[in-house]
């Protein structure tokens, strides 16, 4: 299982949880597992072409992931960040 950090703008999908566990050998697999339990979450992170949305960032540990096909190793932590705006 992979620990996933959920940004504040997506916790409405996870019933307020900021950290959840998910199964998957890739980021895509983790997002699919999360979406099965929290419908709609994946679409907020990736677009229809399975590209990470421009306002979202995904890190595996300290490394930025550019593609959801990025493989995960046992014990990896996935962090999802969303851009914040304000004025």
Question: Which tokens in the block code for residue 24?
Answer: 């998957």
Q: What is the pTM of this model?
A: 0.91
Instruction: Choose among 57, 71, 65: nearest CA to 29.
Output: 71
Please tell me the total count of domains within the chain: 1
Provide the residue range defining the domain that includes 17. Answer: 2-82
Bigger pLDDT: 81 vs 87? 81
Q: Does the pLDDT value for residue 87 go beyond 60?
A: no
Q: Which residues contact 10 (CB under 8 A, 6 or more apart)?
A: 41, 44, 45, 80, 82
Q: What CATH number is attached to the domain comprising 42?
A: 3.10.20.30
For residue 87, is it within any domain?
no
Residue 8 lies in a domain: yes
pLDDT above 70: percentage of residues in the chain: 95
Q: Is residue 30 situated within a structural domain? A: yes
User: Do 64 and 79 meet the contact criterion of CB atoms below 8 Å apart?
Assistant: no
Whether the Cβ atoms of residue 22 and residue 4 lie closer than 8 Å to each other? yes
């Amino acid at each position: 299982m992979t620990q996933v950090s959920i940004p504040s703008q997506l916790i409405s999908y996870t019933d307020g949880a900021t950290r959840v566990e998910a199964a998957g050998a890739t980021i895509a697999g983790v997002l699919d597992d999360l979406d099965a339990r929290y419908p709609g979450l994946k679409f907020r992170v990736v677009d229809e072409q399975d590209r990470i949305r421009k306002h979202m960032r995904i890190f595996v540990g300290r490394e930025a992931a550019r593609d959801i096909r990025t493989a995960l190793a046992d014990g990896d932590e996935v962090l999802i960040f969303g851009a914040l705006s304000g004025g």
